[in-house]
Amino acid sequence: MELTERKKKILRAVVESYIETAEPVGSKALAELAGLKVSSATIRNDLADLTEHGYLEQPHTSAGRIPSPKGYRLYVNELMEEQRLSLEETKQINDALHLKMRELDKVIDQAGRMVSQLTNYPAFALAEGVRRLTIRRFDLILVDCASFIAVVMTDSSVVKNKLFRLPADLSEPQLQLLTTLLNTAFVGKTLDQLTPELMRMAEHAAGSSYGLISLVVSFAMEVLDELENSAVHTAGASHILDHPEYQDVGKAQKLMSYLSEDRSLAQALALPALSGDDTKILIGPENVADELKDTSVVLASYDIGDGMKGVIGVVGPTRMDYAKVAAKLSYVADGLSKLFGQPELPPGTPEKEE
């Protein structure tokens, strides 16, 4: 089952040529390309062998060979050379990462766009809470006698606010009371622990307050919920049209609507990456989702800190430039991890200079 050195060289040449040209590769072309000093007939024998073992495929009897998923897998595992990014490219990524970015959602969205632009494939990005978040503190700010602002801060230091208006008047002492009540009853609780029961009890303790407690707490719950399962951001779906395998509009359409609409599945797809830390490559049928069976996905995960993890990935034809894409993706993921990891500049802290 172990392949000879020459066969590996040939396989690698087939993969790389096919990645570049999207055309089946023939024995004659390989004779020159692979840098071997054997004739095309010899290569033909090896090709037949590789085909028999399932590393290559033939579109039809008299065409050249193209790599099978199994062939790509071997290539990715053993034959592929790690790609170095050029200085230019790292610079471009660094610049893009250091734009002013405030909200987590926007950083993620932006990162997805950047990757898509960088690789010329559709990309997606998402963040997810790997642990249960809680509220760290509540603040209520009186605006005028009929409205106030609620500010909640999670234990991951995300702050959100919302303006509330009320039919009846409200006084500063009332609001103070509510604030302490909220802070004693609901701080440190996870989403599941914020039961309606708890709310009713607190509401009762607050006395005549028009259900204010529940309003503010439901807002807090929304915030927690949103942070723990945030949306999947996709970008650059139109890039799939760049590639000849999607000249068939039907195919392109199927993939595109999967990418741009079926967010829940896109999420399911990204889950494998949440476990490990390095770059993951899923080739064609290795994907769980049916729509991706003849598509490859490259994934990298990054650490947001404070109990959140993110995944950023790229979708493309199985004939994808894995080396380049993986390199770029992991560079970006590292960059994001560093960005979030800076202790004195967590998300939500300004740069000194604008």
Partner DNA sequence: CTTAGCACTCTTCTATCTGGAGTGCTAAAG
Partner DNA sequence: CTTTAGCACTCCAGATAGAAGAGTGCTAAG
Which residues contact a second copy (rule: CB under 8 A)?
100, 102, 137, 139, 141, 143, 149, 151, 153, 157, 159-165, 167, 211, 215, 218-219, 221-222, 235-238, 241-242, 246-247, 249, 252-253, 256-257, 259-260, 344-346, 348-350, 352, 354
Does 61 bind DNA (CB under 7 A)? Our answer is yes
Choosing among DNA, a second copy, none, which partner's interface includes residue 54 (Cβ < 5 to 8 Å by kind)? none
Q: Which two tokens stand for residue 211?
A: 């259900």
Contact of residue 47 among DNA, a second copy, none (CB under 5-8 Å per partner type): DNA
To which residue do tokens 């380049």 refer?
324
- 145-180 core/surface letters (b: 16 or more CB in 10 A; e: else): eeebebebbbbbebebeeebeeeeebeeebbebbbe
Tell me the closest approach of the beta carbon of residue 138 to a second copy, in angstroms. Answer: 10
Q: Which of 127, 194, 182 is nearest to 158 (CA)?
A: 127
Residue 161 contact, options DNA, a second copy, none, Cβ 5-8 Å cut-off depending on partner type: a second copy
Q: How far is CA 81 from the centre of its chain?
A: 24
**Structural contact between residues 86 and 71, judged by C-beta atoms closer than 8 angstroms:** no
Which of 1, 5, 35, 62 is in the footprint of DNA by CB under 7 A?
62
**Closest approach of a second copy to the CB of residue 253, in Å:** 4
Tell me how far apart the alpha carbons of residues 335 and 53 are, in angstroms, rounded to a whole number: 40
Give yes or no for residue 27 binding DNA (CB under 7 A): yes
Long-range contacts of 207-211 (CB under 8 A, 24+ apart): 209/174, 209/178, 210/166, 210/167, 210/168
Is 77 a binding residue for DNA by CB under 7 A? The answer is no
> By the 8 A CB rule, do 210 and 189 touch?
no
Task: Identify residue 280 by its one-letter amino acid code.
Answer: K
159 binds DNA (CB under 7 A): no
Q: How far is the CB of 255 from DNA (least distance, A)?
A: 22
Distance of closest approach, residue 41 Cβ to DNA, in angstroms: 4
**What CA–CA distance (Å, rounded) separates 51 from 45?**
10
Q: How far apart are CA 92 and CA 98, in angstroms?
A: 10
Contact 266, 244 (CB under 8 A): no
Identified binder of DNA from the candidate list 9, 65, 233, 328, rule CB under 7 A: 65
Work out how close the CB of 142 gets to a second copy at its nearest, in angstroms, rounded to a whole number.
10
Among 21, 39, 176, 195, binds DNA (CB under 7 A): 39
Burial class (CB in 10 A: 0-12, 13-18, 19+), 236: buried
What does 83 bind: a second copy, DNA, none (CB cut-off 5 to 8 Å by kind)?
none
Residue 279 near residue 326 (C-beta atoms within 8 A): yes
Cα radius of gyration (the chain) = 27
Provide the minimum distance between the beta carbon of 317 and a second copy in the complex, in angstroms, as a whole number: 14
Triad 321, 330, 274: Cα angle to 5°: 110
User: 21 vs 180, which CB is nearer to DNA?
Assistant: 21
Instruction: Verify binding: residue 352, DNA, rule CB under 7 A.
Output: no
Instruction: Rule CB under 7 A: choose which of 20, 21, 32, 41 binds DNA.
Output: 41
Question: Segment contacting DNA (CB under 7 A): 21-29, 68-76, 173-181, 328-336?
Answer: 21-29
Among 53, 57, 58, 175, which residue interacts with DNA (rule: CB under 7 A)?
Answer: 58
The residues with which 135 forms a beta bridge, in sequence order, are 154
71 lies in the site for DNA, by CB under 7 A: no
- For DNA (CB under 7 A), the number of binding residues is 26
- Contacting positions for DNA (CB under 7 A): 6, 24-29, 37-42, 44-45, 47-48, 51, 58-65
